[in-house]
Chain A
Amino acid sequence: MDKLIAGVNVSVNEEGYMTDSSQWTKEVAAAIAAEEGIELTDKHYELIEFVRNKVANGETLTIRGIGKSGVVSAKEFYGLFPGAPLKKATKISGVPKPTSCI
C-alpha cells in the first residue's frame, strides 16, 4: 500500500516498513523517525548509511555487527534508537525488518 510521507507517496507494508528501498530520501527518513519519536542527528544518518549499505550487499544485520561497525557501539546504538534499535533503525533506513531466525 501507499502512504504519504514527507509529501511523497511511498509504498510500505502493513507494519510501515518501506517495500521499495529506492524511494528512500533523508526527508522520508526524518518523517518516519518523527513517528517513532526520534529526531535524527548526523550520527543517526551515519548509521543509516551503514545499514543501507549492508542490506544492499545482501548481508544480515545484527546488533553485534552494528556494535563492530566502527560507527557506534552496541550501547550507543540503543541510545540512538531506544527500545527496539534494530526494528526502528531498519524502518527509518527504508530496508526490510530483519527476521530473527533460530
Chain B
Amino acid sequence: MKKLLILGAGTAGTMMANKMRKQLARDEWDITIVDQYKTHYYQPGFLFIPFGMYTKNDVIKPKSDFFPVGVNVIYSKIDKIVADKNQVLLDEGVVLQYDYMIIATGTRTAPEEVDGLKGNLWYKDIFDFYTIEGAVALAKYFKTWQGGELVINIAELPYKCPVAPLEFAFFADAFFTERGMRDKVNITYVTPLPGAFTKPRATKMLGELLEQKNINIIPDFNIMEVNNEEKKIIDYGGKEIPFDCLVSIPTNMGDDMIERSGLGDDMNFVLTDKFTLRQKDHENIFVLGDAANIPTSKAGSVAHFAAEILEENLMCAIEGRPLTAKFDGHANCYIETGYGKGTLIDFNYDTEPLPGSFPFPGLGPFGLLKVTRTNHYGKLMFRWIYWHILLKGKEMPIDSEMQMAGKKL
C-alpha cells in the first residue's frame, strides 16, 4: 500500500482528505490525517463573538463529522518532519512513513513575540479575537465596559484574514452606537501598513469607510512593546498610543514543528512554490492553506481555491507527469461593515481588488468594493457553505482562477 499523509485537520487538511479519498483507489492508497485537537473551529465566526452575535457553540463541531469513510485519523501532536527519510514523528514516539505528504498545519497567534503583550493586563484590558479564548473573554468584557480608548493593533505582517481587524473596527463602531455610548468610545486602528489595506483601490475605499465611521487610523506603526503600567503601546520609532482596551492581532507564525523540521522561513511558514504549491526542496511534499509562505492572503477562501490546484498537481506527481495546474493566488473576502451591510473584494497575485459585480458579470448578486446588504448575507451564508460544502471538498459555482469579467479597471 502507498501512503498519503496529511498534517493538520483544519480547513485545508480536511478539504484535501475529502478530495483525495475520491481520487485515490482504496486498495492502493492509505490516507492518514493527523491533528492535535478533536474540535473544528469555524474561525471566521470568532469575529462575531465579542459583539454577542455568535456564541462558542455557533462555531464548533467535532472534526470527525467531516472526514470521509476510509481515512485513518490520528489525534496527536506532531513533533517533527524528517523529510530526507519520508518520516513524521509524533509525540509519544510514533513514527509515520509516507510516499506523499500535504502540510496543512496553518498558523497560530504568538503574543509572546511582542514584549509586554502577554503581561499583567492580558485578558483583563488586552485581548485578541483570533482564538476562541480571546473572543469569549472579550465578549464578557464588552458587556460591562464603560468606554474609553479602544485601540486595535496589528502586531506584524503577514496575518491571517487581513480584513478581519477592519471588520472588527466596523462592528465596534456599530456595537457601541447601538448601545448609545459611541460618544464615550474613541476607536483607533493602528497598523504596520501604510494605509487601511495593501492595494491602492481597496485601501482608498476602506480608508474612506473608516473616516465616515469616525475611526482614527494610525499607519506605519511597528509595535515594539506594550507598557502595562501606563497602558500604552510603543513602536520602534518611539510613537506612543494610550489605550483603555487594547485589541491585538498578535504576530502570526507557523507551527514550531516547521522550525524543528527545517522547512520554513523565519516565521515558520513552509517554503512553497507559489504556482505549483510544492515544497521548495522536497518533490513529494505539498503545502496548502495558512502554513505556506506564498504571497497571497491567508484565508479559508484562498485554501479552497488552491485545493483544486493541489488536487490536480498531486495527481500529476503521483502519476509521474509534469505538474500542470498553476495557482494564481486567488482570494475572495467578504468584509462586514456593520449595520447589516458588507463589502467584497476579489483579487490574486497580479490583480488588485477592483470594483464590479460577482460572481456573474453585470448581475452579481454581490457588489465588489461596494457596501450592500447582499454582501452581508454572503458572509452569513459562508458559515453554512463552510460546514456543508467547503470542508467536504465539494464543487462550488465559483472558478478557482480569478475572473476579470464583471470588473471595472
Contacts and interface: CB of A to CB of B under 8 A. Distances in A.
Question: Interface SS of chain B: helix, strand, loop or mixed?
Answer: loop
A77 B237 CA distance: 10
Contact of A102 (B237, B266, B297): B297
A25 interface: no
Contact of B237 (A64, A65, A82, A100): A82
Contacts of A60: 265
A64 B223 CA distance: 11
Interface in B306-349: none
A1 interface: no
A37 interface: no
B158 A101 contact: yes
B296 A101 contact: yes
Contact of B159 (A65, A82, A102): A102
B267 interface: yes
A68 B236 contact: no
A68 B266 CA distance: 9
Contacts of B265: 60
A100 B200 CA distance: 12
A65 B222 CA distance: 14
Interface string B235-270: 011000000000000000000000000000111000
Interface string A80-91: 001111000000
Contacts of B193: 100, 102
Question: Interface SS of chain A: helix, strand, loop or mixed?
Answer: loop
Question: Which bracket fits the contact residues of B?
Answer: 20 to 34
A23 to B, nearest CB: 27
B224 interface: yes
A102 B236 contact: no
A62 to B, nearest CB: 7
Contacts of A85: 236
A61 B222 CA distance: 15
A36 to B, nearest CB: 15
30 contacts: A60-B265, A62-B157, A62-B266, A62-B267, A63-B222, A64-B156, A64-B266, A65-B266, A68-B266, A74-B222, A74-B224, A74-B236, A77-B236, A78-B236, A78-B237, A82-B237, A84-B220, A85-B236, A99-B295, A100-B157, A100-B192, A100-B198, A101-B157, A101-B198, A101-B295, A102-B157, A102-B162, A102-B197, A102-B198, A102-B297
The 3 closest A-B CB pairs, nearest first, are A102-B162, A78-B236, A101-B295
Interface of B: 156-159, 162, 192-194, 197-198, 220, 222, 224, 236-237, 265-267, 295-297
Given A84-B220, A100-B193, A102-B159, 19 more contacts: A60-B265, A62-B266, A64-B266, A68-B266, A74-B224, A74-B236, A78-B237, A82-B237, A85-B236, A99-B198, A100-B157, A100-B192, A100-B198, A101-B158, A101-B296, A102-B162, A102-B197, A102-B198, A102-B297
Interface of A: 60, 62-65, 68, 74-75, 77-78, 82-85, 99-102
